[in-house]
């Protein structure tokens, strides 16, 4: 039995407006972001979603709250869906932070974590998901690290390929997590 996962990024934040890499800072949605979150809700409320899992960082939690306010769909917050922790570099200009992103594939950011560590957090979330949600359709609201975790552990995309790729935002990605899918063998 498989679990269907729909992934959406958190809505546009004030830090996105300023060109900052928020990382593990909470962040807040901008006016544009609140409108996009409402649009996400209109797009997904009747999409067969049984539960919403959102990163516990404020910008993702705020996206979920706006999108699913007034619905019976449960919204659950999970720290394992957070963005990569840039440590001392949380909140710095995104262009400068990502100039040498490949350097931090395995080496943690100063006082933070590596991209591989962030993606491993997502794996632990995926390992737990079928325990309660097998055969269901869930929505995950997260960040770049969240999507990379889904791409890596479910679709088998190498992190070395993801680190250099453009994020290419769009309205949702769809994944199928099969019970027999052996994610743990991938490195």
Tell me: the pLDDT tens digits for 30-41? Answer: 999 999 999 999
Structure confidence at residue 173 (pLDDT)? 93
Residue 58 in tokens = 């404020």
Q: Side-chain half-sphere of 146: how many Cα atoms within 13 Å?
A: 29
86-102 confidence digits (pLDDT tens): 999 999 999 999 999 99
Asked if 69 and 92 count as a contact pair (C-beta separation under 8 A), the reply is: no
Residue in 10, 62, 113, 152 annotated catalytic: 10
Topology given in CATH for the domain delimited by 2-185: Rossmann fold (3.40.50)
171 part of the active site: no
Q: Distance between CA 6 and CA 168 in Å, rounded?
A: 16
Residue 77 annotated in active site = no
Catalytic residue (one of 83, 113, 143, 152): 83
Position 29 scores a pLDDT of 98
List the one residue out of 71, 74, 72 whose CA is nearest residue 42.
Answer: 71
CB proximity list for 102: less than 8 A, separation 6 or greater: 163, 164
pTM summary value: 0.93
SS3 labels along 21-36 = CCCCCCCCECHHHHHH
Would you kindly state where each structural domain of the chain is located, as residue ranges?
2-185
Q: Is 52 helix (H, G, I), strand (E, B) or coil?
A: strand
Lookup result for tokens 């996105």: 16
């Amino acid at each position: 039995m498989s679990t269907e996962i729909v992934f959406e990024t958190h809505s546009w934040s004030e830090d996105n407006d300023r060109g900052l890499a928020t990382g593990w800072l909470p962040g807040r949605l901008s006016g544009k972001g609140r409108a996009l979150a409402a649009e996400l809700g209109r797009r997904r409320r009747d999409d067969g979603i049984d539960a919403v899992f959102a990163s516990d960082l404020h910008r993702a939690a705020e996206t979920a709250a706006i999108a699913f306010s007034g619905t019976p769909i449960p919204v659950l917050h999970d720290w394992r869906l957070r963005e990569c922790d840039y440590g001392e570099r949380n909140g710095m200009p995104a262009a400068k932070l990502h100039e040498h992103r490949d350097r931090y594939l395995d080496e943690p950011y100063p006082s933070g974590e590596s991209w591989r560590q962030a993606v491993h957090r997502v794996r632990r979330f995926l390992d737990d998901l079928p325990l309660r949600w097998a055969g269901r359709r869930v929505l995950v609201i997260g960040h770049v690290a969240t999507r990379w975790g889904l791409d890596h552990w479910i679709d088998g995309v190498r992190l070395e390929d993801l680190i250099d790729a453009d994020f290419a935002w769009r309205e949702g990605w769809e994944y199928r997590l099969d019970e027999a899918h052996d994610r743990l063998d991938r490195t």
